[in-house]
Amino acid sequence: MSAPARRWWPAVAGIAAIAFMVIMFVTGSEKDTQQLIKFEAKGVMQVPPERITRARIDAGDRHFDLTRTGEHTWKLANGETVDGKLGADASMAVQFMNTSGPTREMSRSELSGAELKDFGLEPPRVSIALYDGAERILAAHFGAHNADGLLQYMSVDGKDEIYMMSRFVGGQWEQVASQLPVK
């Protein structure tokens, strides 16, 4: 290679590399998120959380009715607004019912001889009912935690199974109930 060619070689290689990168960027860009995995809700509630307009929470002898007035705002039966952290926590609890699926489903035949009280479900720690207008979408009951404390037993009205849920799902409802004002 001659001396002048040796001087231009790095510049030509650099220009070619930049041109290659530009071509790869333009032609290699994804069209319409084809490579992304589509989100699929795996929770026990099959309707989108934003459709829930009312939540009934029963925790021991405390009972609360919340009506959704915004994305993170709710209203108590007495008209008191629930917003801020408590409103966001209530909305998150509803969302968990749609997005967080059971880690295990146990059929009644698998549980032969066991009673609901064996799972802390009679009486439950907290019960919820979620509504879209007047239509009840889901009623669930959260019981005891499993031996390692990571999961919690849950039953759903109309279902024979007992579910093992991540503890944070029922814990979110318990947290909401603990923050609501006592009547």
Question: Is the CB of residue 44 less than 8 Å from the CB of residue 57?
Answer: no
Residues contacting 137, CB < 8 A, separation 6+:
45, 47, 51, 52, 130, 131
| pLDDT recorded at residue 5 | 58
Q: What is the pLDDT of residue 16?
A: 76
Q: What is the pLDDT of residue 29?
A: 58
Nearest residue to 180 via CA among 89, 49, 54, 52: 89
Q: Please tell me whether the overall predicted TM-score, pTM, comes out greater than 0.75 for this model.
A: yes
**Residue 147: per-residue pLDDT:** 93
What is the pLDDT at residue 3?
Answer: 64
| 3-class DSSP assignment, residue 28 | helix
Q: Point out the residues of the chain with pLDDT beneath 70.
A: 1-6, 28-35, 37-40, 183
15 Cβ contact partners less than 8 Å away, ≥ 6 residues apart = none
- 137-169 tens-digit pLDDT: 999 999 999 999 999 999 999 998 999 999 999
What class does CATH assign to 49-179? Answer: mainly beta
